[in-house]
Amino acid sequence: MLQQLEDLYKNALDEIGAITEKEALQAWETKYIGRKGKVTLLVRAVGQLPREERAEFGKRANAVKDELTAAYTRREELIRQRELAKSLEEGEIDVTLPGRPIPVGGLHPANQTLREIYAIWADMGFQVFRTREVEDDETNFELLNIPQHHPARDLWDTFHTTTPGVILRTHTSPGQIHAMRHFAPGPIRVILPGMCFRYEQISARKEIQFNQVEGLAVGTHIRLSDLKGTITAFAHRMFGADRKVRFRGSYFPFTEPSLEVDVECILCNGKGCSVCKGTGWLEIAGCGMVHPTVLRNGGYDPATHSGFAFGMGPERITMLKHGITDIRYFWGNDLRFLEQF
């Protein structure tokens, strides 16, 4: 039996020396030193030996088993090392490759334009004044000289809440009332940026939500020429110092007189293209002198005070600057659009 053990030992060592694969090593372990392995079974058979041979055999058997177990552990480590070296060589892991970039967000294109607008108006002394998006009908319409049933209400399709008289603001103009009541009787130079909501059938040019930037200046000697000069200065900073700017007569219930502002088309430089529909001009804002009724509603005496106001759409300005053809991209949450800015 001792000879049998020595033979097994020799065979096992010979075999393991040739093993290069994990699976073959596993099979070797099962064959020799596993629970039903040949060496294991032989060690268990010690009881069949004559008593006087048992001690010697047992000692040798344990030594053989220990050595084979050690040989197994060494081989296992060797195979692991070889596999690692091989996979490095084959390029499965290339530790010299640069890491994967972590995706970073960016400012929404509308916010980029808003910030540009804020900076320009800030340089002219206008501070940002924020007011509520959920408004009452009175401030959104009545106090701006748009009474119930007035046809001018048709200009603003409105989202109503379940609370009567509480609506989503259809424009930033109600902010004029809040600002006047906050600053009266002192002078005002503010811009009122923020989201507006209209219950409109949406199309490439219309959305149910969009930003506006309202502006308001109130003081004792403010004239139409101040409005024109200030808006022109803004348009030159925003669209280029050489851009022509023109004012057209218009109508808004809360201004008198009312005007609309056009700049020379920034895409075709006034020659006429599809964006300006061949006119050479792009409309960028509505504006006017604050209506005496609105001044009074804000707490100012129109006999001593006057003011101008304007309203512009940053998404529309962004569309003009980048040649974006559909306003619905802005709030469509599509990264393919947003990542371009």
List contacts with ligand DAH (CB under 6 A): 171, 173, 214, 252, 255, 286-288, 309-311
Q: Which of 298, 261, 308 has its CA nearest to residue 282?
A: 261
Shorter beta-carbon distance to ligand DAH: residue 194 or 286: 286
State the DSSP string of 22-37.
HHHHHHHHHHHTSTT-
User: Do residues 132 and 233 make contact, with C-beta atoms less than 8 angstroms apart?
Assistant: no
Shorter beta-carbon distance to ligand DAH: residue 64 or 312: 312
Distance CA 280, CA 270 (A): 4
Residue closest to ligand DAH (Cβ): 311
Shorter beta-carbon distance to ligand DAH: residue 214 or 264: 214
User: Do residues 325 and 210 make contact, with C-beta atoms less than 8 angstroms apart?
Assistant: no
CB of 282 to ligand DAH, least distance (A): 16
CB of 340 to ligand DAH, least distance (A): 28
Mapped onto helix, strand or coil, the DSSP state of residue 182 is helix
CB of 227 to ligand DAH, least distance (A): 9
Angle between helices 109-123 and 224-239 in degrees, nearest 10: 130
| Residue 206 DSSP one-character state | B
Distance CA 55, CA 28 (A): 27
Shorter beta-carbon distance to ligand DAH: residue 72 or 310: 310
Distance CA 137, CA 244 (A): 38
Shorter beta-carbon distance to ligand DAH: residue 59 or 246: 246
CB of 144 to ligand DAH, least distance (A): 8
Omega into 292 within 30° of 0, i.e. cis?
no
Q: Give the pairing of strands 188-197 and 127-128.
A: parallel
Distance CA 263, CA 282 (A): 5
CB of 172 to ligand DAH, least distance (A): 7
Shorter beta-carbon distance to ligand DAH: residue 213 or 324: 213
- Which amino acid does the sequence have at 65? K
* Residues facing 135 on adjacent strands: 167
Shorter beta-carbon distance to ligand DAH: residue 49 or 184: 184
Shorter beta-carbon distance to ligand DAH: residue 5 or 188: 188
User: Do residues 329 and 291 make contact, with C-beta atoms less than 8 angstroms apart?
Assistant: no
CB of 198 to ligand DAH, least distance (A): 9
Task: Please list, in sequence order, all residues whose beta carbon lies within 8 angstroms of the beta carbon of residue 19, skipping any fewer than 6 positions away.
Answer: 25, 28, 75, 79
User: Do residues 29 and 79 make contact, with C-beta atoms less than 8 angstroms apart?
Assistant: no
CB of 301 to ligand DAH, least distance (A): 20
CB of 167 to ligand DAH, least distance (A): 14
